[in-house]
């Protein structure tokens, strides 16, 4: 008797190599995948604006990276005793406006340079709900807990999403023609919008992405949403808030992502990296013993051997 749907994501036509560069953008689910890629020594840049959710905000961010936008003091607002940007996550906020601007513009520059030579962009769409300032109509990526009356909330239509992401894709391909793009839809449930509204939002995102994947040969869809909602489909795989997937669920999605997106040499290299990471995380009780010194010497030899074959790898010194 089978108690689970059988579903294995298809292998991509183009596969990710370990020496390639990957930019990740989007919801908090992007952060989770990005951390796992970074731990496995992929060259990544994750969320240069911090976590963002809706297609309009993601497109605006991409356009700003490509155009090397420099943020000015007028782009910041003082809210709750912190200088903040409507286009950035609260991780960029601070009490000193000069420092906040410096951090934002450094991130902008890094994103521009990374995109020039990036091989892949992974975009995780979180929600089709978009926010704009009530006074000006300008799009907002993060509300920073401002009063609700500050914003207009809008469920983007399918045509709105198509138009926004179409702009995003064309700008990316014009800037870096060899780029390949992976879209995912976040399995995080945004219950603050309402369960029915959340499902409507996700369905619009999925429909548009499926349309775009058929339109562009360099576009791929990875079914992270379906793996959690339709395959795992159990609250055991959600945290206590019943909204965010557990680490176990994210590991399951990442394992499927690896199988679908990585080439065979990369999969083999990952196994070697995992062994070295495990050894690096070992904390000896008696570091001054000859046995540990031999362990450390053997570990450094393995690291040096791996780095000679793969110069892009960057490991910390052995403890």
CATH number where 245 lies: 3.40.50
**What's phi and psi for 256, nearest 5 deg?**
-70, -40
Average pLDDT, integer, range 19-45: 95
| Amino acid 311: pLDDT | 92
100 and 249 part of one domain: yes
**4 within some domain:** no
Q: At residue 318, does pLDDT exceed 80?
A: no
175 and 31 part of one domain: yes
- Domain region containing 293: 264-319
| Amino acid 268: pLDDT | 96
Q: Which residues contact 64 (CB under 8 A, 6 or more apart)?
A: 87, 108
Instruction: Confirm whether pTM is higher than 0.85.
Output: yes
Residues 46, 31: Cα–Cα separation, whole Å: 7
Tell me: the pLDDT tens digits for 206-253?
999 999 999 999 999 999 999 999 999 888 999 999 899 999 999 999
What Cα–Cα distance (Å) separates residue 113 from each residue in 58, 121, 186?
18, 14, 27
78 and 190 part of one domain: yes
Domain boundary among 244, 262, 280: 262
DSSP tag of 74:
G
185 and 59 part of one domain: yes
121 and 252 part of one domain: yes
136 and 146 part of one domain: yes
117 and 229 part of one domain: yes
Work out the mean pLDDT of the chain and round it to a whole number. Answer: 94
Average pLDDT, integer, range 190-195: 89
54 and 101 part of one domain: yes
| Amino acid 295: pLDDT | 87
Tell me: the pLDDT tens digits for 247-301?
999 999 999 999 999 999 999 999 999 999 998 888 877 778 888 888 888 889 9
- 187 phi-psi bin (left φ>0, alpha ψ -120 to 50, beta other): alpha
**pLDDT grade, residue 317 (50/70/90)?**
confident
DSSP tag of 220:
E
**137 within some domain:** yes
Domains held by the chain: number:
2
209 and 63 part of one domain: yes
6 vs 109, more confident: 109
273 and 312 part of one domain: yes
| Amino acid 127: pLDDT | 96
Domain boundary among 243, 262, 281: 262
**152 within some domain:** yes
Tell me: the pLDDT tens digits for 107-127?
999 999 999 999 999 999 999
170 and 292 part of one domain: no
Domain boundary among 245, 262, 279: 262
127 and 180 part of one domain: yes
**311 within some domain:** yes
């Amino acid at each position: 008797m089978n108690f689970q749907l059988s579903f294995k994501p298809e292998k991509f036509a183009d596969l990710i190599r370990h020496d390639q560069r990957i930019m990740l953008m989007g919801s908090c689910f992007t952060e989770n995948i990005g951390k796992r890629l970074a731990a496995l020594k992929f060259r990544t840049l994750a969320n240069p604006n911090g976590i963002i959710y809706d297609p309009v905000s993601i497109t605006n961010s991409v356009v700003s990276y490509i155009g090397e936008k420099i943020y000015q003091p007028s782009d910041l607002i003082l809210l709750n005793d912190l200088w903040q940007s409507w286009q950035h996550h609260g991780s960029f906020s601070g009490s000193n406006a000069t420092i906040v601007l410096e951090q934002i513009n450094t991130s902008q520059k890094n994103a521009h340079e990374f995109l020039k030579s990036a091989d892949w962009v992974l975009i995780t769409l979180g929600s089709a709900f978009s926010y704009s300032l009530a006074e000006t109509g300008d799009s907002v990526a993060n509300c920073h807990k401002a009063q609700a009356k500050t914003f207009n909330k809008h469920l983007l239509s399918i045509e709105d999403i198509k138009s926004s992401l179409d702009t995003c894709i064309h700008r990316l391909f014009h800037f870096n023609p060899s780029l390949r793009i992976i879209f995912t839809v976040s399995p995080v449930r945004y219950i603050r919008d309402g369960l029915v509204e959340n499902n409507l939002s996700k369905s619009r995102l999925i429909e548009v992405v499926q349309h775009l994947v058929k339109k562009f040969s360099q576009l791929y869809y990875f079914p992270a949403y379906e793996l959690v909602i339709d395959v795992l489909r159990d609250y055991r795989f959600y945290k206590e808030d019943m909204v965010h997937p557990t680490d176990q669920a994210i590991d399951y999605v990442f394992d499927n992502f690896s199988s679908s997106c990585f080439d065979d040499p990369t999969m083999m290299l990952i196994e070697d990296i995992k062994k070295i990471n495990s050894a690096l995380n070992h904390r000896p009780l008696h570091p001054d013993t000859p046995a540990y010194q031999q362990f450390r010497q053997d570990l450094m030899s393995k690291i040096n051997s791996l780095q000679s074959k793969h110069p892009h790898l960057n490991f910390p010194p052995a403890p």
